[in-house]
Every structure is written in C-alpha cells, then in structure tokens.
Structure 1
Amino acid sequence: MPLTDPDGTIPVATAKEWAANWRDYLLTADSDFITRSFEIPIVDFQNILLYNPTAQSVKAFIGLKDIGAPLTAQLMLVPVVAGQEVHTLQLVGGLVGDVQSNIYDMTTACPPTCSTIVGDTLDN
C-alpha cells in the first residue's frame, strides 16, 4: 500500500458529490451534454492494478464537478473486489482507520477538452 494517495485518486467525498451531481443533472437534462468520450491516463489503470491486485473489475461512474454544468463531466473509476466497490485503502504506517482514496479520476472529457488524435478515431 502507498504512503500517500496514489496518483489519479480523488477524495471519496468528492466522488460522491460528483456522482450525485450527475444524477441530479439527468433529472432535468436537455441536449447540453456533448461529451462523447473520456481519455483516461494509463497511471489510473496501473495504480488500480497495483493497489487492488484481487480486483475482478472496475466500475465507472459519471459525475459532474459543478451541478447543472454538463461540460464539467468526469469519469470516476472504482475497483471492485469480491463484488464490493473499494472506495478507500488503509494508509501504510497509519493508525487503524487511517485511509486514503481508492477512487481514480484523471480523465479528460472529449469535448470540451480533448487531446489531438491523428488518424482514425471514434470521436469523429
């Protein structure tokens, strides 16, 4: 286990807020949501595998950084171990109950922000 939060993680409270914002947005959504894809850095996957070696899958949640603002969409990745979402990990060297986030988000929504991909892409 790491001594600090792994690269790519976000606080559990932030993840819950973003997911709730997305659900609230969907209740009143119109055609403002234009995000077609998310670019996910490899470090997210590397750390999920490193810190969750027994995970069977990863659950992806859509969230909004700002409620009602569809262009702030984020994709959050949560490891699933033994059928359960694993939101936190025990902090190495910490006291019992000292935990760190295990929810990953370094994603980029496309659009509004995308890296330039040359050649054949599903974003076109």
Structure 2
Amino acid sequence: MPTTDPDGTIPVATAKEWAANWRDYLVTATSDFVTRSFDIPIMDFQNILLYNPTAESVKAFIGLKDAGDPLSAQLMLVPMVSGQEVHTVQLAGGTIGETQSNIYDMTTSCPPTCVTSPPPGDTLDM
C-alpha cells in the first residue's frame, strides 16, 4: 500500500498557496514576468492518465513557490473529469475516504532553469 502521493504530485495545500502567490504577484508586481516556457516531465502525464482514466482534459495553473520571486514559477496540472477539477483521488490501496493529491507539478521554468535548447532557428519564439 503506497504511503505517498503519486510521483509528480504536490500537496493540495501547496498548490493553493502557490496559486495565491501568483495572484498576489500579478496585483503587486514591480518587475516583469520573464518565464518563457516550462519543462514538464512525461511522468506527470503518465500518472495523470493512470489515476484519471476518464479525464477529458487538464487545466494548467501558474504558481509561485516564493510569493515575491517570479523566477520561482511553477506550472501545476489538474485533471478535469466531467467538467470539474479533480484535486484528490482515492488513495490506492487505502481505506474508503483516504485520498491522495491529484495535482501534478515536477515542472521547471525557463528561465531560470533552461534545458538544452534546440538548434538555432528551431526555437518557438513565442
């Protein structure tokens, strides 16, 4: 019986905190948001599909680990089932009522953490 949430998830309370940090940043920001992309591990998508086989989409939220630091940006992924965000799922192997997080985030933002870039001229300059 697993004792931790699926790989790639973060606690729901952490996700709510990061989302609140992002909303606060938008209201009070004195510097530009410079993140241009997010690198998302395949494990996040694999576990979303494994634990949410009836999901019809995924909603993405931007959050900040540190309320005042736009370089601490995270992209949080929440499965959508029947038009509803699914923040938790039944704990695999647990008793009735035991839940585990269903919010995924093992992302890294660029900047500050940029993965190897494609060849010059092959980038998505969006």
Common topology (TM > 0.5):
yes
Distance in 2, matches of 1:117 and 1:6, equals: 29
Q: What corresponds to 1:108 in structure 2?
A: 108
| Unpaired segments ≥5 residues, structure 2 | none
> CA contact under 8 A between 1:78 and 1:87: conserved in structure 2?
yes
Local SS of the residue matching 1:109: strand
Structure 2: distance between partners of 1:93 and 1:37: 36
1:21 maps to 21
Task: Say how many residue pairs are matched.
Answer: 123
Q: Deviation per CA, 1:56-106, whole angstroms, max 9, x where unpaired?
A: 100000000011111100000000000100000111232222111000001
Q: Which moved more, 1:41-50 or 1:92-101?
A: 92-101
Quote how far apart the aligned CAs of 1:31 are.
3.3
Unaligned runs of 5+ in 1: none
The 1:11/1:122 distance shift into structure 2, 3 A limit, reads: same
Name the counterpart of 1:11: 11
1:121 to 2:120 alignment: no
- The share of aligned pairs that are identical, in percent, is 80
Match of 1:52 in 2: 52
Q: TM-score, normalised by structure 2?
A: 0.91
CA shift, 1:118, in A, is 2.8
Amino acid at match of 1:83: G
User: CA RMSD of the aligned region, Å?
Assistant: 1.5
Deviation, structure 1 residue 123? 5.1
Indicate the residue corresponding to 1:34 in structure 2.
Answer: 34
